[in-house]
Structure 1
Amino acid sequence: MARVATVITLAALGGGAAAPAEAGGFDAGRSPFTSGSPSMGGPPSGGGPAARSGPAVAGLRIAQSVVPDPLLIGRPAVHTVTVTNVGEATAEAVTITGALDEHVSPGPLPDGCDLTGRTITCGGPALRIPAGRSVTRSFPVVIDSGLSDGTALTSRAEVTASGAQGDSSQLVTETRAAGADVTITKAATLTAGGAIAYAVTVVNEGLTPATGVTVRHPAGGRAAIADRPAECPGVGPSLVCPLGTLAPRESRTFMFTLAPGEPGPVENCATVSAESDEANTTNNRACTSTAIEPQRAPAPDGAPSPDEATPAGKPSEKNRARPGHEPRHAAPGEQAEPHEHRAAERKRDRERDRAPRAQRLDDGRPLPMTGVSVWMLGLGTAVLLAIGLLVRYFSRRDRVSGMP
């Protein structure tokens, strides 16, 4: 009898656990939009995989996310839906449907998506997702500015496909009052003198005033602050700049100069903070890196540069300083050395070229003779006399012999 009671008890427990799945209902403590529910194509309950007896099928899973999280009241956000095919076959004609909360307004939709009321539909017959692949759709939204802090916003999404297991999900996100949001940017410029000029800009991008705004900027490395702005009083290797309160959309810009201590990269970061609550702190830091090149040593005064040629005929400083290079005149009775003799000749030639022409013609040297020389004239005269005597001799001999 006890054995029969045990069998009846096990049968009752097994039937009670399977009844909701067979009827297609949901557990009372489980949301109908939770991913992986049995009615929406989730994996069957049980410890081991079921034996496959048919062809491979596609299996889809859908997930949602928002940025920022929590959502900021009255501020924009980005809603993203991701569908993944966890099956073994390609999912055909995939359709993604999303229903936004009534306090969320959608912005421009991506290609292939349509808006009907507050429902967004993407995909259709043309959308295919191969096995093991994912498809993501993101679109901007704006949160209602009339909400109170801590309001819960709910969005639902569902995916279906032809001949595939679908899925659905529900995302609940709380809202937060949008406060101040200070941002900082920095620009660096290398000056002609080798210093670095910085321009720092701080803006309150939030919807409420930012109080107690302070900028901090270390010099970094061996660099020193050469020009300290009025917004950053004090001394030392770092800047501390109390800017006070910034109204929404208000900005402050100040500049300062940094003198690098040695060649190489100069890297530093500026940070901004506020005493009031900030909606976003990821934009509170700005960094720059500036390369400093080594400078060339200046050339000594009076020394010619490598590109400057020494004038012709003018000895360089090196040759002029060499002993024995200057020409020396020979003493009386002393024969000048060939090098000194040539130097003396060149000096006399330069002096003669600079002298007037009349003085050059009468400088004590014998003038060279032009035309025919005297000995040539004497030789010609003797030849002519000899020829005349021969002619006369032969003429007289012919007359004596009776020749006409």
Structure 2
Amino acid sequence: MARVAAVIALAALGGGGAAPAVAGGSAAGAPAAASRPEAGGSAAGAPAAVSRPEAGGPPRPPSVSEPPFRSGPPSASLRIGQAAVPDPLVIGGQAVYTVTVTNAGATAAEAVTITGTLDEHVAPGPLPDGCDLDGRTITCGGPALTIPAGRSVTRSFPVVIDPGLSDGTALTSRAEVSAAGAQGDSAQLVTEARAAMADVTITKAATLTAGGAIAYAVTVVNEGRTPATGVTVRHPAAGGATIADRPPECPGAGPALVCPLGTLAPSERRTFMFTLAPDEPGLVRNCATVSADGDEANTANNRSCTSTAVQRARAAAPDATPAPDEPAPAAEPSEEKGAARSEPRHEPRDAAPGERAGRHEPRSAAHDRAPRAEQLEGRRPLPMTGVSIWMLGLGTAVLLAIGLLVRYFSRRDRASGIP
């Protein structure tokens, strides 16, 4: 019995998974179980679970219309520019193309490559170190070229312009720069090719001399690339001034100058001087001009003017020293003290009895002038007429007083009986 009970218990434990189905009233393998999913579950292949992710699941992928977000260190930014000297270019002449690359970014640009393409009418010359030529394309830099942030690099390329070009031909050159992990740049330069011309210039300087004349220095230079022929300097007359010192470069006569200098080679210089004598004081302004045969590259520098102030010369002071053969002039007495300083005239007088008649000898001038000098130091002497009247009145009073005294004493003596 014990074994039968154990077998029954094992059979009950082994079929426990199907017991609920039997209890639910459905046969094993009925489709009702498949059509009704369990709570929280889903039917096989249902799309609802895919379109609605559970909370805390992975983020939704970005849509196509939204730009992706980049994060990382700032990159380098390169800028390129070109220039040509001279500008305009001279047909058949030499020129220099200059390319400048600047790093405007925040980090250094590494492995920088500079590429330039020349016009078909421009032939390259010797290239700088680190540059290669392939046809008309010049390449410089590479892995060895690094440009720090805020710094610039310059490369210059000598070239020769085609001598068979027509005047005014436009020449185009292109340049570009690139670097690993940096923003590149490109540029285009269009220059004009002109026929070679002479360019004569003139400068004039003025210096005022001690005698009131004006010394001028005139300098003429050919700054063009070809010889200047028929170079002539002209200096017109300035008012009534005359040429005091005419240079040999300016033959002829008269107040104007015409100076034929002939031919001047490129960079040749000529200087000559002349002196102008003004006829009256004042501001003396004049201009000198230069010209040459044919057309010039620049005619604005063919004239030079100066302004010089001339003052009136001061009269020389007369020499007060008398000549050896001329007598010294006599000193004239002043108006105020002329009467007091004039010498008295001595008239001859008759000889007294017992005195030998002869010429009256005046006293020495020093003896006569000494009392007068002492008198004049204090005050001016009274006029002679006033002195005479004063002395006459005083003498009359004295005589009257003496007479009265004599009369008084005479009466007194008579009264006393004195004989």
The alignment's TM-score, normalised by the length of structure 1, stands at: 0.48
* TM-score (normalizing by structure 2): 0.46
